[in-house]
Amino acid sequence: MKTQDAEKKKAALTKQFGEAVTPTVDPDGVLEVVVAPPQAPEVLKILHKEYDFHQLHDLTAVDYIKDNQITVIYRLMNIEKPDMLVVKVPLDRNQPEVATATGIWPAANWLEREVYDYFGVKFVGHPNLTRIMLWEGFEGHPFRKDFRAFDQEPPEIEPHEAYLASGFEGPVDLRDVGSGNGAARKLIINFGPQHPSMHGIFRAAVELDGETIVDMKPIVGYLHRGLEKVAEMRTWAQVIPYTDRTDYLAAMNNNHAYVLAVEKLAGIEVPLRAEIIRVILAELGRLHSHLMAIGCFGLDLGAITPFLYVWRERETIYDLLEMVSGGRLFPTYFRIGGVARDLPEEFIPRLKKFLKEMPGHIEQYNNILSGNEIFQKRLRGVAHLTKEMALRYSVTGPMLRSTGINYDVRKADPYSLYSRFDFEIPLGENGDAWDFYWLRILEMWQSMRIIEQAIAYLEETGPGPVQAKVPKTLKPPAGEAYVHIESPKGDLGCYIVSDGGTSPYRFRWRPPLFINLQSLPELVRGWKIADFIAIFAGYDAVMGEVDR
Amino acid sequence: MENVPDVTQGLNAYPAVVGWLEGIGLPGWLAEILYRVGGGLLILTLIAILALVLVYMLRKVMGHMQCRLGPRVTGPFGLLQTAADALKLMQKEDIIPARVDRFLFILAPYLVFFSCGMIFMVLPLSPTWILNDLEAGVLYFVAFGSLASFGLLMAGWGSNSKYSLVGGMRSVAQVVSYEVPLVLALLGSVMLAGSLSTQQIVLAQGGTWLGFLPRWFIFLQPLGFVIYFLCGLAETGQTPFDLPEGESELVAGYNTEYSGMRFALFFLAEFGNTFAIAAMATTLFLGGWHGPVFSFLPWLWPFVWFMVKAMALVFCIMWVRSTWLRFRIDQMMNFAWKILVPLALLNIFISAGEVAAIRWIGG
């Protein structure tokens, strides 16, 4: 995505801040502003207020040990225009400190905690600057290049207890509830890490007044596998299987983000046929992910049957993936410069049959779930995600579109072949749980449309190579690349930095769910327990992606 | 119609058994006690067998409704699956978590199961097969139906777990709320039959109207039947009223901390109650054991018809269970107090009109 009027903004910024900023326009047309740490908060505030960068798209850091610098990177966006801008703040490696951006964008909260966790960067003024993925008491910051791994035992005591005890009024333990004077008491219930409807190991400490939620604290990090760190020790090609394991319901889309980033960095031209195949599979991944999402919606609201209905279609998609790659959940089918192998002969007929059956199946879901009075009653008007709130928390994906904001990366910043396919972006109106659900059904129709067009295009282009010539040991030139795609869960970004070596110097995954989830407390406050479950289902959370 | 055997003269166990016991020299009071205890044991066995059948039925019905086949590996057609499960539950370690209220924790499942078993006492399975034809049988049924909620609250509080506590509170709120329309809906049948005795209500439904329409109360009380059925779902905690144990919210609700046989008791009671609700609906609205009687084993047919009707209703409950989803707590309450109670009150007026009309025509 280009920066609009990059030159104009460049000139204005130079005029306003003089020496403190060094704006450059990178080859993609994105304005990159390097800011000295003392001026950083002011520049960010001005960019937010006067340049309309309402959204903190991503916040991460890179350790440039040779320059004795840790660079904090703010990726700002205005998704309505759309517009993107990068702010880099180089910090002294020995004492990295910068003012927090949580006051400008609440979405910075967890992102800054993550950077603190990984790099030890202190964000002055952050409300709760504690480790988020690793445990409190972990020695060292693993993403610093001079970090040497050694065995560290995680603590026996749950490290979040202190955090939980703060800010809640009620007793953490049921046994602490005294007989009292008969006044109503609040209760804190842990939903998760092990709970049937937390979609993995998400933990929500919920303060209840009767059945009503007074406050809620989300805790993540139980499934942290250090994906980004592991990637730094693998060759460029070896990273692909790891991306499968982030959002494991849409492995293809994850592959897509990563290979596109590497291809962009290394300047690899992908054969057309491979690109079409990628689109087909990425849309299949979206279908798969949305199928699971609507199935889980039913399951979380107490209907088991729709969940098993979607299992049937899921099985077909798995069979298709197995056909092309041999893998089902983790196909690892995309390669840098193409795909692993051409489609087998029986793939397209089977896919066509699937597309023919699918409308009938969606009709079934509508009959059993969408049309159910109780289901509609449970979802309509529950939760109210406003546009303003969605922007504040950098919410992306179907949840953002449920508020009526038309932002889909496939349209806003077309990648791959999406610009040549004809499809629509379904939009919601109310930002309620019903919209979260219904948009996914509508998006499935659009995905099917894209797949149909892609099949026609594939047949039109005929056979051809599916893999570009890529050196055996790929060494992309030193530099960096950022690619974001529309994954089923939201705006999935992949930021890679190369030092010209055989493996990524820094590999950053912008997980849409991790960022979306920060809006959960504000969204569920004041609703009932059952609504909380319904709202959480709307995130379609996959903890593999949140915790990486 | 003259050839129809008199089913009421069938297998009347009471005089036969008590007479035989007295015949071998036992005093009258001991024979009476032995008869009652034997009947109680029979009912326990009946509940256990019913639970086995119903669990298998539930699995098969839900399986086929959910594009799968249900159990089919253990034994022929998977028939032994539930037996295997029961065996597994019996072998489980009996875990009592630390810091529970032991007295309540241990007592709760027995109370729930006890209240379920007591309901079976007044079910008229056939003209002669009724353990105790109480004068106030319907009232007795309502009383023991609501006793179960004490057990659930005890389980919820005694477990010292927050999921259990919220589940227990929900179940009490639910049972107390739905008790009201349930009783009001029952009143219609009671008024029509002019008796609280379950057997008398069934007897009042004998014969036909206009020669073909059986005189079942459902034809006079369609509204009452629907209200009763919905309240019955709520009383037994079935979908869409499975809030007390809604697994996506409260893990397992009041029985979260239970395992082994204590859990099995809750489980048995749940299925026992499901059947009891269906059986009571059969008694009150579907003509109980009335049905065509054939000359082959004439005393068995009423029981067969009773079971067929009750099982058809159980099937409906399972059908609902596999297609609907859960209410939210406030919606559930609103539904009881704002919709069902007014409708049930209306139903009483309708019943009164019907009683007057029948007296006017028939009188």
CATH number, domain of A110, equals 3.30.460.80
pTM exceeding the 0.80 threshold for the entire prediction: yes
User: Over the range A100-118, which residues count as b (16 or more CB within 10 Å of their CB) and which as e?
Assistant: bbbebbbbbbbbbbbbbbb
Does A211 reach chain B within 8 Å, measured CB to CB?
yes
Mapping DSSP to helix (H, G, I), strand (E, B) and coil, where does residue A79 land?
A: coil
- The residue written with tokens 């939009």 in the block is A427
Q: Do B67 and A189 touch (CB under 8 A)?
A: no
pLDDT tens, B127-175?
777 777 777 888 888 888 888 888 888 888 888 888 888 888 888 888 8
Q: How far does the CA of residue A368 sit from the closest CA of chain B (Å)?
A: 7
Q: Long-range contacts for A181-185 (Cβ within 8 Å, ≥24 apart)?
A: A184/A209, A184/A210
Average pLDDT over residues B216-232: 86
Residues 88-147 of B with CB under 8 A from A: 99
- Residue A169, pLDDT score: 56
**Domain annotation covers residue A535:** no
Burial of B294 (0-12, 13-18, 19+ CB in 10 A): exposed
User: How far is A306 from A291, CA to CA, in rounded Å?
Assistant: 10
**Domain annotation covers residue A389:** no
CATH number, residue A291: 1.10.645.10
Chosen domain end from A124, A152, A176: A124
Average pLDDT over residues B326-330: 84
Q: Do A302 and B65 touch (CB under 8 A)?
A: no
**Domain annotation covers residue B90:** no
Q: Which of B165, B166, B251 sits opposite A196 (nearest CB)?
A: B251
- Residue A43, pLDDT score: 83
**Domain annotation covers residue A90:** yes
**Domain annotation covers residue B7:** no
- In the predicted structure, residue B8 carries a pLDDT above the cut 50: no
Q: How far does the CA of residue B355 sit from the closest CA of chain A (Å)?
A: 36
Q: Which of A174, A196, A309 sits opposite B67 (nearest CB)?
A: A309
**Domain annotation covers residue A518:** no
**Domain annotation covers residue B337:** yes
**Domain annotation covers residue B193:** yes
Domain range for A62: 6-124
Q: Do A533 and B249 touch (CB under 8 A)?
A: yes
Q: How far does the CA of residue A373 sit from the closest CA of chain B (Å)?
A: 9
User: How far is A547 from A220, CA to CA, in rounded Å?
Assistant: 7
Q: Which residues of chain B lie closer than 8 angstroms to A309, CB-CB?
A: 66-67
**Domain annotation covers residue A299:** yes
Q: Do A174 and B162 touch (CB under 8 A)?
A: yes
- Residue B5, pLDDT score: 42
- The residue written with tokens 């703040």 in the block is A89
What total of structural domains would you count in chain B? 1
- Nearest alpha carbon to residue A170 among A218, A104, A126, A217: A217
Chosen domain end from A66, A97, A124: A124
Q: Which residues of chain B lie closer than 8 angstroms to A190, CB-CB?
A: 162
- Residue B6, pLDDT score: 45
- Residue A5, pLDDT score: 75
Tokens linked to B36: 């009652």
- Nearest alpha carbon to residue A355 among A249, A464, A280: A280
Does A172 reach chain B within 8 Å, measured CB to CB?
no
**Domain annotation covers residue A530:** no
Angle at A269 between CA A231 and CA A487, to 5 degrees: 55
Instruction: Give which of A188, A294, A307, A308 to mutate to test B binding, by max B Cβ within 10 Å.
Output: A308
CA distance readout (Å), A62 to A118, A152, A263, A546: 10, 24, 21, 20
Residues 37-96 of B with CB under 8 A from A: 62, 65-68
**Domain annotation covers residue A106:** yes
pLDDT mean by block of 10 residues, chain A; 548 residues: 74 76 78 83 83 85 87 86 85 85 86 88 84 81 83 70 61 54 68 78 82 84 85 88 87 90 88 89 90 88 86 89 88 87 88 90 88 86 86 88 88 86 87 88 90 90 84 84 89 89 88 88 86 87 85
* Inter-chain Cβ pairs, chain A and chain B, closer than 8 A: 92
Q: Which of A174, A190, A312 sits opposite B165 (nearest CB)?
A: A174
Q: Which residues of chain A lie closer than 8 angstroms to B243, CB-CB?
A: 530
Residues 369-398 of A with CB under 8 A from B: 372, 374-375, 377-378
Residue A305 near residue A443, CB atoms below 8 Å: no
- Residue B79, pLDDT score: 84
* Element counts in chain B: helices (H) and strands (E): 13, 2
Name the phi and psi angles at A183, rounded to 5: -75, 155
Tokens linked to B24: 């071998």
Residues 215-254 of B with CB under 8 A from A: 239-240, 242-243, 246-251
Chosen domain end from A99, A124, A149: A124
- Residue B2, pLDDT score: 37
- Residue B312, pLDDT score: 92
User: How far is A397 from A14, CA to CA, in rounded Å?
Assistant: 35
pLDDT tens, B259-315?
888 888 888 888 888 888 898 898 888 887 877 777 777 677 788 888 898 999 999
Instruction: Give which of B328, B334, B338 to mutate to test A binding, by max A Cβ within 10 Å.
Output: B328
| β-bridge mates for residue A69, sequence order | A64, A92
- Nearest alpha carbon to residue A216 among A208, A227, A226, A224: A208
CA distance readout (Å), A42 to A70, A74, A264: 20, 14, 33
Those residues with Cβ within 8 angstroms of residue A352's Cβ, 6 or more apart along the chain or in another chain: A455
User: Over the range A444-474, which residues count as b (16 or more CB within 10 Å of their CB) and which as e?
Assistant: bebbbbbbbbbbebbeeeeeeebbeebeeeb
Domain range for B162: 99-362
**Domain annotation covers residue A199:** no
pLDDT tens, B225-262?
999 999 888 888 887 888 777 777 777 778 888 888 88
Q: Which of B99, B166, B251 sits opposite A195 (nearest CB)?
A: B251
User: What are the E-state strand segments in B140-263?
Assistant: 208-209, 213-214
What total of structural domains would you count in chain A? 2
Burial of B89 (0-12, 13-18, 19+ CB in 10 A): middle
The DSSP-derived string for B285-327 is HS-TT-S---SSSTTTHHHHHHHHHHHHHHHHHHHHHHH--PP
